Structure formats: C-alpha cells, structure tokens
Copies of this chain bind each other. A is one copy, B any other.
Amino acid sequence: MRNLEVSLGERSYPILIGQGLLDDASLLLPALKTKRAVIVTNEVVAPLYLAQLSSALRAAGVEVAEVILPDGEAHKDWPTLNRIFDALLGGRAERSTTLIALGGGVIGDMTGFAAATYQRGVPFIQIPTTLLSQVDSSVGGKTAINHPLGKNMIGAFYQPRRVLADIATLDTLPDRELSAGLAEVIKYGLIRDPQFFDWLEANIERLRARDAEALSFAVERSCRNKAEVVAIDETEQGERAKLNLGHTFGHAIETGLGYGVWLHGEAVAAGTLMAAELSRSLGDLSAAQFARIEDLHQRAGLPVFGPALGAQRYLELMRHDKKVADGHLRLILLEGIGQATIRGDVGETAIAAAIEARSR
C-alpha cells in the first residue's frame, strides 16, 4: 500500500493507494469520529462494492446506513443531493456521523457537498472507484453540484479526512471510463510533470490493459502532483487553476451537449486539444509538441476534437464558467510539455479560431 499526505495544516489527510483496501475496515476507523457512518453510492457501484464495504465496517462495530443514488452527471443536481439530506435526517444522522463516498466523481462531489453543508459540516471520507476520481476529483476538497446554467456552480471547498483508492475497483470500470480517467492523468504530465508525460507515452497501452502495477504508479504519481498543488493553493487563488487545463473548453462541451452525453474526461481531452491548439497559434507550443499531445490522447482512446457547437456558442458557455475575472476569460495554456500558464489576455478571435480548428 502506498501512503501520501495532503499537507493542509490541521486539515491534512492521507491518501491510501493499493489493492483490495475495501475489505480492511482498519484503514477507515481512524477517520471516523464516532461509530456511525452513512455510505453514499450509486446504482452501478452498489451491486459491485457496497456489501463488501458495509460488512467490513459492520464487523468492526460501525453502525452503517446506505444511500443509493441514480448514476451519472445528469443527476449531480439539487433533487439528488436532497435525497442524501432526506436520508440523513430520516436516519437522525448527527454532526459526528461520517459520510463515506463510494463511487466516481459525481458521487464524491455530491457526497462531499452534502458533508460540507449537512448541519454545517460533518466528517467525510472518499473511496473513489473510477480512475478519474482516484487521480483527481477525490483529492483536494472541491465539492459541488451542477446548476442548469453551469457546471459545479454551487459547492464548497471541504476536505475529506481520508482518501482510499482501491486499484482493484478499476477492474470493473468500462473501457470508456478508464480512458476518460486517463485524460486527467495526462493533464498532470502536461501542466507540471514532463517525466510523467514521457512515462505515459511509454506505458499508455499497459494502463489501458489494466496492468495493476502501471495503474498503481499512475494513480500515485497523479495524486502526488495534485496533493502538491493543493497544498500550495487550496482555494484556487492562483497555482491550482492550472489543474483546469482543458476544463473551461470542456465544461462548455458538457453543458452545451447536456450533462452526461460526453464523459467529463472526454470533454477535458477535447478541451485540452483546444488549449494546445491555441497555445500553438500563439507561438508557445511547437508543432512537434502539439503532435505528441494529440497522439497520446488518441492512444488513450480519447476524443481529440470537440463537437461542432460553433465557436460563438462555446464562447457564450465559457463566459458562464467560474474562470472569469473582471469580464475576461482566464485560460490555462501550455508553454511546452510540463509547463502551464494562466492567461487572461487572449483575444476572443484567437480563442474562436482554436475552437473551430479542434471541433467537428
């Protein structure tokens, strides 16, 4: 088992990464305030892993309740969140009751936001079961639900007390979701870890074949990158924004098509190619570097073009994104592989051209 620390003073917490961690309640007990827990999961994950986790906890003397939500980004909304609150209030969950998110990014984001706001905050544990949530969304304390006018618009920064990434849960992940997770893995290489990008170029097929050792390495390296960035800039005043490479374009794709039509990672991949295209057009990225980025995404099974919504529609949706300051779009662009930069000065004509070049 690998053990990383997210360093945030008194809110620091460990990320445990390994095979078959779900059965081992002793990994969770130190993070429980009292022996009461509510596991939140979805209809897809529940039949696979819920019984395993619940029995391990119950055998350790923990009183466990379960909430099973519908699956998918389309349900990351208030009515679904409210089902968690109904269950907590119906079951008389207390301020000391721990919420456990068992599932992908949607479950983690919603459970985290429920934990942040139920009785103004209760303890919370992340057990991510998808590659995307293991390498990205479970770490760093961003929680949220969507609003019809924008993704993740209502949320909170709220850190979990522990993250448990069980690589064994990736065995049941559909290929498409595995690829979607690789988009966020590649991102770390692109924004700050060129050696990792090189490693990914050499090992992308092993990852897609679910080689356990390769997956463990990629999850740990990704989490290490994320933890370092979050420790520097927890609430995204600066450095943390670089983690949003491809996300402003990507959110426009997700919102424009309707939540859940494209997976988040797929939208991020196409968005990253748009950001790379824009970086190339600004002279910050060479054609050879661009080609490496496109090639790795393709080999990861990811889309390298966005849907043809029209550049104006993209821009309109992007202006609703959170990455806007004083009316200017703030974009994460690349100045090479392993080097990201935050730019608020790029004209909309150039942005529109990059969108057109990378959508079809």
Contact with B along A17-49 (1 / 0, CB 8 A): 000000000000000001000000000000000
Question: Inside 8 A of A147's CB, which chain B residues have their CB?
Answer: 85, 89
Question: Inside 8 A of A152's CB, which chain B residues have their CB?
Answer: 120
Question: Inside 8 A of A118's CB, which chain B residues have their CB?
Answer: 153-154
Contact B154 A117 (CB under 8 A): yes
Is A149 part of the contact surface with B, judged by Cβ < 8 Å?
Answer: yes
Whole-angstrom distance between the alpha carbons of A82 and B82 in the complex?
13
Contact B325 A94 (CB under 8 A): yes
For chain A, residues 110 to 141, give those with C-beta under 8 angstroms from any C-beta of chain B.
Answer: 116-121
Question: Which range contains the number of A residues in contact with the other chain?
Answer: 35 or more
Question: Inside 8 A of A90's CB, which chain B residues have their CB?
Answer: 149
Question: Inside 8 A of A144's CB, which chain B residues have their CB?
Answer: 120
Question: Inside 8 A of A157's CB, which chain B residues have their CB?
Answer: 120-121
- Looking at the assembled complex, report how far the CB atom of A62 sits from the nearest CB atom of chain B, in whole angstroms: 14
For chain A, residues 73 to 126, give those with C-beta under 8 angstroms from any C-beta of chain B.
Answer: 78, 82, 85-86, 89-90, 92, 94-96, 116-121
Is A155 part of the contact surface with B, judged by Cβ < 8 Å?
Answer: yes
Whole-angstrom distance between the alpha carbons of A235 and B158 in the complex?
14
Of A214-222, A267-275, A316-324, A345-353, which stretch is located at the interface? Answer: A316-324
Contact B96 A326 (CB under 8 A): yes
Is A142 part of the contact surface with B, judged by Cβ < 8 Å?
Answer: yes
Contact A120 B142 (CB under 8 A): yes
Task: Answer whether A155 and B34 are a contact pair too, CB < 8 Å, given A92-B320, A325-B94.
Answer: no
- Looking at the assembled complex, report how far the CB atom of A233 sits from the nearest CB atom of chain B, in whole angstroms: 13
Is A186 part of the contact surface with B, judged by Cβ < 8 Å?
Answer: no
Question: Inside 8 A of A153's CB, which chain B residues have their CB?
Answer: 85, 89, 118-119
Question: Inside 8 A of A154's CB, which chain B residues have their CB?
Answer: 85, 117-118
Question: Inside 8 A of A265's CB, which chain B residues have their CB?
Answer: none
- Looking at the assembled complex, report how far the CB atom of A38 sits from the nearest CB atom of chain B, in whole angstroms: 15
Is A156 part of the contact surface with B, judged by Cβ < 8 Å?
Answer: yes
Question: Inside 8 A of A322's CB, which chain B residues have their CB?
Answer: 95, 119-120
Contact B78 A82 (CB under 8 A): yes
Question: Inside 8 A of A160's CB, which chain B residues have their CB?
Answer: none
- Looking at the assembled complex, report how far the CB atom of A147 sits from the nearest CB atom of chain B, in whole angstroms: 6
Is A250 part of the contact surface with B, judged by Cβ < 8 Å?
Answer: no
Residue of B nearest to A88 (CB): B153
Question: Inside 8 A of A86's CB, which chain B residues have their CB?
Answer: 149
Is A181 part of the contact surface with B, judged by Cβ < 8 Å?
Answer: no
- Looking at the assembled complex, report how far the CB atom of A34 sits from the nearest CB atom of chain B, in whole angstroms: 6
Whole-angstrom distance between the alpha carbons of A216 and B302 in the complex?
65
- Looking at the assembled complex, report how far the CB atom of A8 sits from the nearest CB atom of chain B, in whole angstroms: 15
Contact B95 A319 (CB under 8 A): no
For chain A, residues 213 to 250, give those with C-beta under 8 angstroms from any C-beta of chain B.
Answer: 235
- Looking at the assembled complex, report how far the CB atom of A327 sits from the nearest CB atom of chain B, in whole angstroms: 8
Contacts A/B (CB < 8 Å), 18 sampled: A34-B326, A78-B78, A89-B149, A89-B150, A90-B149, A92-B320, A94-B324, A94-B325, A95-B322, A95-B324, A95-B325, A96-B326, A117-B154, A118-B154, A120-B144, A120-B155, A121-B235, A156-B156
